[in-house]
Amino acid sequence: MIEISESVTPGRSPAVRKAARILFELAAHHEAASFGELSRRLAMPKSSLADICGVLLEAGVLARDIDGRMQLGGRLSEIARGLVGGTPLLELFHAAVPHAEELAGRTVALAVLSGLDAAYLSVRPGERPLPLTLKPGIRLPAWSTGTGRALLSTLPDPVIREMHTDAPPLSPSGQLFDMERLIEAVGLARARGFASNADLGEMALAGTAAVVYGRGGPLAAVGSIVDITSADAGSDAEAVRALARHLSESLRREPASPSEA
Amino acid sequence: MTRAPHEGTVGPEAPSRVPAVSRAVAVLSEIAVHGPASLANLGRRLGLPKSSLLGICQTLVEERLLVQDPQGRYVLGLAVAELAAAQLRHPPKLARLGVAVPNTSNPFYVVELRALAEASAEIGAEIVALDSGQDIDVQIGQIGELVNMRVDAIVLDAVHSTKVAGAVRLARSADIPVIAVNVGAEGADVSVTTDNVQAGQLVGHHLAGLLGGRGEVAIVDGEPVTATADRVAGFMSALREHPGVNVVARERGDHSPQTGRSIARRMLAQHPRVAGFFGINDPTSTGIIEALGERGISVPVVSVDGSAAAASAIAAGGSLKASAAQDPAQLAHLAFRLAAQLRAGERLVTQTRLLPTRLVTEANVADYQPWG
């Protein structure tokens, strides 16, 4: 086995970097791993691995499965609540999407507004591969996506205009930003209760999205994404709106989090 | 109620083998709960020097677990969403286990509970254990409490195998799997018991052998649960091969030495020629032996459990001649494993798991490792 030494930027924490590598390794493989497997895959000495895993286990960032192997722990979902206003929206989305029968086979995504971007937090992949692999962590210009347009529709037009005055982000497929077209699209979204980007043909995808509301107002958007030839705006819109309503109602039933209070 | 909380809070002050990692988790948690924070804010809130936090925060930024907003404050990065999404893809983990036992005076249940607590601790799960004081109505109410607490699974050692059915249905309708342990429970997802028919057969054959194949015997039965029914059925089945041995008395007790003693007293008064007893469990047999002692009688008693007290009594050469051994810790470990599997959505191959028993007698008690 060849050990590749890590270059550590001075002033950084090698232990924190190792902890992150452990977490990303487990995330990439979708399954639990023993100390031995992790040590081999990460080329990390067992003693160092055991110390770091011990701390992560105590913190609940890692957990043991029934056979004693390491897997990602529930504390990660608790921390991720900070991305959605301190609410359990990610968990609720994960639990609800498999029951959304009208969206069976569709790619379904949950996104929040991050500056001028739609930042995707969770994605349930569909049965058919899309021209673009949507995954948690990807950011796309809000103006060019269904979820982004749904989120922008919660803002007043002057705010949207101001946000996009200086250098709007480029679309991955090279679509040109058009302010008036965006304002028209978000106006339509407000009127219909759902947003769409089918008119853009961005990446040959059609997204249909609706806003999820928390106690404090708009929190995120859920969207169905299909390749543009499979788009069925009517049925997708109703299904996505139903999912957004369900998630909003579920959030209202949850106890208020410290960050919501 | 006993609880074994596992909340994995790691404060910055907690002793840690790798303090930087503990502090990194504390930083992420702090920002998750209280929102964006500058280095100075974080230092103040976590009680840590900025110099110590800077390297940690910058590493978290490089790993995309944090980002800095235009004001220079740290906010959660999207890599947190990637990790959370991966974590949520795991089958649901057993995080909180509900346990309902008939009582905690019988060492059997104490060992069962201890094994469940140990198994829970190993995977960082919380356990909520409830003792019903041998009252089925109390136990039914307790199962309702566990359902309201939204435990992930319930391990149930039932007071009554059929009267508990409604409460089991309630739990299952709330998508909470129910694992019957030690005794069956109507409607449970799966039951894990000792092979109680085998236990009854073993002690039946042994008692008949001690009596030379002839004599009157009495059974001090227990509560109407599957375990007792199976033991008695196994005992009676064995006696069919010994036609000279007749059961002349049978009465239900509550598995305690007290009722064992009082029932045996009545039986001895009504059937003075009783030549042997079958006590449904070791505590019951203890009571039977006390009643025999009061009358100055010594007849063989056989039992089921294989507890430490029974093993000592067998080794001492008194009236207790044999006990078919159960292993409450093994029962509990299997129940726990099945609870985790059901919680993860796995389908079970069979709804009944029987663990074999062995007969503990004077001849082999020296090699036997008892529980309790």
| ipTM of the complex in this document | 0.90
Q: What's the average pLDDT block by block, 10 residues per block, for chain A (261 residues)?
A: 45 90 91 91 92 94 89 94 95 93 91 94 86 85 95 97 89 86 96 93 87 95 88 81 96 74 46
* Burial class of residue B262 (count of CB atoms within 10 Å of its CB; 0-12, 13-18, 19+): middle
Residues of A in contact with B18 (CB under 8 A): 15, 19, 51-52, 54-55
Distance CA B123, CA A68 (A): 7
Q: What's the gap in Å between the CA of A144 and the closest CA on chain B?
A: 20
CATH class of B2-89: mainly alpha
Mutate to test the interface with B, among A6, A7, A13 (most CBs of B within 10 A): A13
pLDDT given at position A38: 94
CB-CB contact of B342 with B190 (8 Å): yes
Q: What's the gap in Å between the CA of B268 and the closest CA on chain A?
A: 51
Judge: A55–B90 Cβ closer than 8 Å, yes or no.
no
What ranges do the domains of chain B cover? 2-89, 96-193+329-353, 196-327+360-367
Common-topology check for domains B96-193+329-353 and B196-327+360-367: yes
Which positions of chain B have pLDDT values less than 50?
Answer: 1-14
3-state secondary structure of A15: helix
Q: What interhelical angle do A14-29 and A35-42 show, nearest 10?
A: 110
pLDDT given at position B6: 34
Q: State pTM to two decimals.
A: 0.70
CB-CB contact of B110 with B104 (8 Å): yes
pLDDT given at position A233: 65
Q: What's the gap in Å between the CA of B123 and the closest CA on chain A?
A: 5
Chain B: residue whose CA lies nearest to A68: B123
pLDDT given at position A201: 80
Chain A: residue whose CA lies nearest to B69: A115
Length reported for chain A: 261
Q: Does domain B196-327+360-367 have CATH number 3.40.50.2300?
A: yes
Chain A: residue whose CA lies nearest to B31: A82
Residue in B8, B33, B341 closest to A60 by CB: B8
CB within 8 Å of chain B, chain A residues 30-89: 30, 32, 51-52, 54-61, 63-66, 68, 71-83, 86
B149-185: b or e for each residue (b if 16 or more CB lie within 10 Å)? eebbbbbbbbbbbebbbebbebbbeeebbbbbbbbbb
CATH no. of A81-253: 3.30.450.40
Distance CA B260, CA B253 (A): 6
What ranges do the domains of chain A cover? 14-73, 81-253
Residues of B in contact with A122 (CB under 8 A): 81, 84-85, 88
Distance CA A133, CA A221 (A): 18
- What is residue B37's DSSP assignment? B
Domain covering A14-73, topology: Arc Repressor Mutant, subunit A (1.10.10)
pLDDT given at position B91: 78
CATH no. of B96-193+329-353: 3.40.50.2300
